[in-house]
Amino acid sequence: MPRKTWRAALAAYASPSTLVLLLLGFAAGLPYMLVFSTLSVWLREAGVARETIGYASLIGLAYAFKWVWSPLLDQWRLPGLGMLGRRRSWLVLSQVLVILGLVGMGFCDPQQHLSWLIAIAVVVAFASATQDIAIDAYRLEIAQDTQQAALAASYMSGYRVAALLSTAGALYFAEGFGSTGFAYKHSAWTGTYVLFGVMMLPALITTLIMREPPVPLRTQLSAARYGFIHQLASVFVLIVLLVSVPALFTQLYNTDFASVLFGDVSWLTLLLEDRAFLRAILYAVLTSACLSSMGRRGLAPVLTPVNDFIMRYRWQALLLLGLIATYRMSDTVMGVMANVFYIDQGFTKDQIASVSKIFGLVMTLVGAGVGGLLIVRFGIMPILFIGGFASAATNILFLMLADMGPNLQMLVVTISLDNFSSGMATSAFVAYLSSLTNLRFSATQYALLSSIMLLLPRLIGGYSGVMVEKLGYHNFFLITALLGVPTLIMIILQWNREIRHPEPPPQAPAAVEKPEA
């Protein structure tokens, strides 16, 4: 791809789409934090038990599994609202539900109506996750691959500002309205959540007036092939499969096979009296039903986008999935222990908040903007490599900080460079994921790929505390830096392959300008 001039690169930020993504990013960031960290503070201030607050955090599963119902957004046109178009109709529905949900949460006092508050928060989380799917799909369909980084940077800017506003800002509003840790006041939290519901209105207005991307002809044909009932049944079968498989192994683990193999208990007694074994049989039947020929036919709307990705890239898909699964591993695993590290080093909470919120936010936004600019100028792969290298290399700064003690100047440098590299890496990675997505299945494939992106880093990150206890911070940061090496090797392999075979994999045919049938 020929390099563009710096003026052409800067022009990527001058399009109306950049402003649209800024406002949509703001709308995506607000509800995410309001049903997590801010809600936890509210519940604790109201006297809710820590165990209950921990269970409430399971609301986040809506975001982890949003790819399950993403095929509905690709294939099905909403009745009534469908006149707005495939993407805008889902955005309007999800944004209206978020607004009503935030207002509804505000009027539920956790001291009296905790179950209603949690139930409405679940609705907000699912609506917010649906909005995320629709925004990602909309972004993919309105611009070329080289412009995706600029749009992602604009989206990230709005998202980060909203995240800061809905965490620190929400606590400030609740405090200002009269609710403190010493004197809980429900009306203060009501006013806070209603206020944030009103803040969603600019994004809703933007959705109503922005242009709808054209629908590819093959997407229209696919939507006609799989009716709504088939698509809904496909989502249901997939959910059953996702629940039954891990539950099957859990129940088998809890079954008392030892008494049968090494004792005098018969299989019949085990079958009649061991409830874990009975549940294992039930989950085995459900799993078999989902994997039967009828179940596979039911899963066709969900499996078609996955099959398309595998067929387009074939064995190369293994390399791509490995790159996707490990790209954010270095900074994600390190980030789990970052705040704990600051406290252990002796920094005050005021110092941590000031540096991370001010320098961290600013440098993340600058890094995202620079990343988008460089990608338009030089292409995706060089910046993807630089972003991956910088994200891993900045962990060495944390290693140096661990040896220096509570050095405030070094903390500023470390957080600034770490967030700058994180912003640039995120812009590059979003642009790369976008280039891998077939526009026929943009919502489904991007939701699935972005879920894979965080799965392995989060699993390994769960053991970060154990690693620190066993190895200490110095060696922990060294290991997290080395975790980025395999990713860099895979980027080089993929980069060389693209140089040798510059032809892109087949994408969906050109879109038609008529609305979806």
Encode pLDDT of 380-425 as tens digits: 888 889 999 998 999 999 999 998 888 888 988 998 898 899 888 8
Question: What whole-number distance in Å separates Cα of residue 162 and Cα of residue 93?
Answer: 20
Say yes or no: 265 and 189 in one domain. Answer: no
Q: What percent of the chain has pLDDT over 70?
A: 81
Say yes or no: 42 and 142 in one domain. Answer: yes
Cα dihedral 218→219→222→227 (10° resolution): -150
Q: What percent of the chain has pLDDT over 90?
A: 16
8-state DSSP, 502: -
Say yes or no: 288 and 366 in one domain. Answer: no
**What is residue 168's three-state secondary structure?**
helix
Residue ending a domain, among 169, 204, 220, is 220
Say yes or no: 386 and 470 in one domain. Answer: yes
Distances (CA, A) of 63 to 35, 129, 138, 427, 444: 11, 5, 18, 20, 14
Say yes or no: 213 and 242 in one domain. Answer: no
Say yes or no: 336 and 466 in one domain. Answer: yes
Of 63, 28, 86, 29, residue with least CA distance to 441: 86
Q: What is the mean pLDDT of residues 448-465?
A: 76
Q: What is the mean pLDDT of residues 437-448?
A: 74
- pLDDT tens across 37-50, in order? 788 878 888 888 87
* Residue 103 domain-assigned (yes or no): yes
Question: What whole-number distance in Å separates Cα of residue 427 and Cα of residue 373?
Answer: 10
Say yes or no: 182 and 297 in one domain. Answer: no
Number of folded domains that form the chain: 3
* Residue 434 domain-assigned (yes or no): yes
* Residue 2 domain-assigned (yes or no): no
* Residue 11 domain-assigned (yes or no): no
Residue ending a domain, among 157, 185, 220, is 220
Say yes or no: 207 and 241 in one domain. Answer: no
The confidence band for 296, taking pLDDT boundaries of 50, 70 and 90, is low
105's tokens: 């949460």
Say yes or no: 215 and 232 in one domain. Answer: no
Question: What whole-number distance in Å separates Cα of residue 272 and Cα of residue 258?
Answer: 16
Say yes or no: 194 and 259 in one domain. Answer: no
Read off the CATH number of the domain in which 460 is found. 1.20.1250.20
Residue ending a domain, among 203, 220, 237, is 220
pLDDT of residue 506: 41
Say yes or no: 287 and 160 in one domain. Answer: no
Do the Cβ atoms of 204 and 82 come closer than 8 Å? no
Q: What is the mean pLDDT of residues 461-474?
A: 83
Do the Cβ atoms of 167 and 37 come closer than 8 Å? yes
* Residue 508 domain-assigned (yes or no): no
Say yes or no: 405 and 474 in one domain. Answer: yes
Give the domain extent around 461: 314-500
Backbone phi and psi for residue 512, each to the nearest 5 degrees, phi listed first: -100, 155
The confidence band for 193, taking pLDDT boundaries of 50, 70 and 90, is very high
pTM: 0.69
Name which of 204-218, 292-306, 395-409, 468-482 the model is least confident about.
292-306
Query: Between residues 20 and 446, which one has the greater pLDDT?
Result: 20
pLDDT of residue 517: 29
Question: What whole-number distance in Å separates Cα of residue 299 and Cα of residue 283?
Answer: 18
Distances (CA, A) of 35 to 41, 124, 159, 210, 356: 10, 8, 15, 28, 22
* Residue 404 domain-assigned (yes or no): yes
